[in-house]
Amino acid sequence: MLDASAKILLTGAAGFIGSFFASSLNQSGYENLILVDDFSPASKVENHQNLDFLYKIHREQLFDWLESNEGAIDYIIHLGARTDTSEFDEKLLNELNTNYTKKLWEYASDNQIPFIYASSAATYGDGSHGFSDQLNREELEKISPLNPYGWSKHVVDIWALDQRKKPPFWAGLKFFNVYGPHENHKNRMASVVYHAFHQIKETGKMKLFKSHNPKFKDGEQLRDFIYVKDLVKIIKFMMQNSTSLNSGIYNVGTGNARSFKDLSEAVFKTLNLKTEIIYIDTPQDIRDKYQYFTEAEMEKLKNAGYKEKFYSLEEGVNDYIKNYLLKEANN
């Protein structure tokens, strides 16, 4: 059990998942947080302005700070990354995602600090090799992510498995389709729930991509959507049980794929509006990289002792819209 006085280093603390996790830690009594990110964007101020913490550090200054503050950290949660799946600047992704994670891993290994980092379901590519988090090193190498972002995460997962020098506990968490509060700043990369809410509220209609795969009907492309409240519960579970858990790669989804049509209908229902969906062609530039199905295999986490019930898609959408998005829209 990690004592509430523990000093927790959290990267990505101004972003969607990182700031929501920091807020959740505060609610659980953890206030000795070392928050790391680029805190300058005005669009992210709401995410971090009310957090309790020890230090705020710009991500570019972190390693200098660690060098001059030896022994100041008890746990590292690394959620910071360039998360734009349409980013094709491989040098930038290598710097912010791959190398940054490796440097933190090495620091955690040298100082024997437990280390959790965010991987991604994007590492599974087209899904032809399944969505198992129990693949061995050789099986992992057969997977080909569909974009540079996915590769920037995938190479870290493989690299981590190869390391002889490791943190006392480590976990690479493959996040599936996360939605929920604190994602307002993400613009185009915000969740489908976020975009559906705004689109339906403004137009009364929802546009979805047509299927260009004969195995799927329009709107019935499937994703494993996970509410951010469930995701932070999983990270907390790992943090609290690090001494008894096996290190390795873990999926973070619900294990239950749902369609974009289901999601849209849940938004219409929450807003008390008649469902009206318009199907449009998937843009040519992403059509050959489009995933038609993702679903996390969750047995590994369950076997590790995680017993919490997940929000259903309808429950999560309802909570997100009624308790967050509608209140923001009315302010």
Per-residue pLDDT of the chain (331 residues; tens, 9 = 90+): 788 999 999 999 999 999 999 999 999 999 999 999 999 999 999 999 999 999 999 999 999 999 999 889 999 999 998 877 777 788 888 888 899 999 999 999 999 999 999 999 999 998 999 999 999 999 999 999 988 899 999 999 999 999 999 999 999 999 999 999 999 999 888 999 999 999 999 999 999 999 999 999 999 999 999 999 999 999 999 999 999 999 999 999 999 999 999 999 999 999 999 999 999 999 887 887 788 999 999 999 999 999 999 999 999 999 999 999 999 988 7
In the chain, where are the structural domains located? 8-178+226-256+296-310, 188-223+257-294+314-330
- Whether 56 is catalytic is no
The burial of 126, by beta-carbon neighbours within 10 Å (0-12 exposed, 13-18 middle, 19 or more buried), is given as middle
Which CATH superfamily hosts domain 188-223+257-294+314-330? UDP-galactose 4-epimerase, domain 1 (3.90.25.10)
101: CB partners within 8 A, 6+ apart: 78, 81, 117, 156
- Which pLDDT value is given to residue 116? 98
Q: What is the CATH number of domain 8-178+226-256+296-310?
A: 3.40.50.720
**Same CATH fold, 188-223+257-294+314-330 and 8-178+226-256+296-310?**
no
Question: Do 275 and 196 contact (CB within 8 A), yes or no?
Answer: no
Angle, nearest 10°, between helix axes 260-270 and 313-320? Answer: 40
Q: How far is CA 4 from the centre of its chain?
A: 24
The structure's pTM equals 0.96
- Whether 124 is catalytic is no
Catalytic residue of the set 186, 201, 205, 289: 186
Catalytic residue of the set 100, 117, 124, 149: 149
